[in-house]
Amino acid sequence: AVITQNVDRLHHKAGTPHDRVLELHGTTHEVHCLDCGHMMARSELQATLAALNPAAAQEEARLRAGGGPIVSGGGSSIAPSQSSSSSSGSSNSGSGSSGGQPSSQPSQGTAPMVVPVMRPDGDVELRDAGQGFVVPPCPQCGGVLKPHVVFFGDNIPKPRTERSLALARSADLVLVVGSSLMVYSAYRLIEAALGNSAQVVILNVGPTRADKVATAKLAVRAGEALMRLATHPRLLLPRI
């Protein structure tokens, strides 16, 4: 089984059977209602968002096509290529869409969003951010929808916790790939596996919480190591 802290479903895209993947921290591909618990696909919500906010949908399409955002500073709007501060301003292009009321002149037939200049400390002053953007309620009860993700401060649902611990206790080998194990929800899986005399092998650049208890650790990049295993499957066979 694969127990992942990632929320992007790339394990599924890579071909791992869905029933063998446990998404410890949930997934961004689903949303759920905080009131009634109704679940729906994120793609379904995206279609509703686009219908309710056509200007924002046009802006998203323009950005995906390679068009940069308009950077504002000192009360003016300029194209990123015309300002030395464009690299810092455009880095925040994912979240300041003006929704139904864009405040800058149309570019390439659409209404580009205005992104303020980011200060050296990373602060950005967002004026009237989100005004005019329509957020749909839960289609079942009218409640608030939330990405089906465990955010900082949230608790992992108990059934998911119990299943992850059961998988860890039943393993004779745990391979930790690209995780520091600093959050306890991940480290306790190592504790559970070690409690059942399992071996723990870590592939990670940098220290992890389990360095002192692991059977072995290799300071390698996860992608490079796994690609080598995938292209040379004989490396997976035990040496006799």
Answer with the residue of higher pLDDT: 30 or 131: 30
Give residue 105's pLDDT: 42
Residue 168 in domain: yes
Q: How far from the centroid of its chain's Cα atoms is residue 110's Cα? A: 28
Reported confidence tier of residue 77, pLDDT bands at 50, 70, 90: very low
Specify the CATH number for the domain of residue 192: 3.40.50.1220
Question: Are 106 and 100 a contacting pair, CB within 8 Å?
Answer: no
Q: What is the mean pLDDT of the chain?
A: 81
Annotated binding site: 33, 36, 138, 141
Catalytic-labelled residue, pool 25, 29, 38, 148: 25
Q: 117 or 41: which carries more pLDDT confidence?
A: 41
Phi and psi angles of residue 88, each rounded to the nearest 5 degrees, phi first: -80, -35
Q: What is the pLDDT of residue 238?
A: 58
pLDDT digits (tens, 9 = 90+) for 112-129: 556 567 777 667 776 766
In contact, 115 and 94? CB cutoff 8 Å: no
pLDDT at residue 186, as a whole number: 95
Q: In what order do the strands lie in the sheet with 114-116?
A: 76-78, 70-73, 114-116
CB atoms near residue 174 (< 10 Å): 22
Determine, yes or no, domain membership for 150.
no
Residues 126 and 178 in one domain: no
Tell me the percentage of the chain whose pLDDT exceeds 90.
57
- Look at residue 110 and tell me whether its pLDDT is greater than 70: no
Tokens read off for 24: 């410890």
Higher pLDDT, 167 or 63: 167
**Residue positions forming the annotated binding site for Zn(2+):** 33, 36, 138, 141
> Is 25 part of the annotated catalytic residue set?
yes
Residue 225 shares a structural domain with residue 161: yes
Same domain, 120 and 168: no
- Reported as a pLDDT band with limits 50, 70 and 90, residue 34 is very high
d(CA 140, CA 34): 12
For residue range 180-237, list pLDDT tens digits in order: 999 999 999 999 999 999 999 999 999 999 999 999 999 999 888 888 888 886 766 6
Residue 125 lies in a domain: yes
Whole domain around residue 218: which residue ranges?
A: 156-236
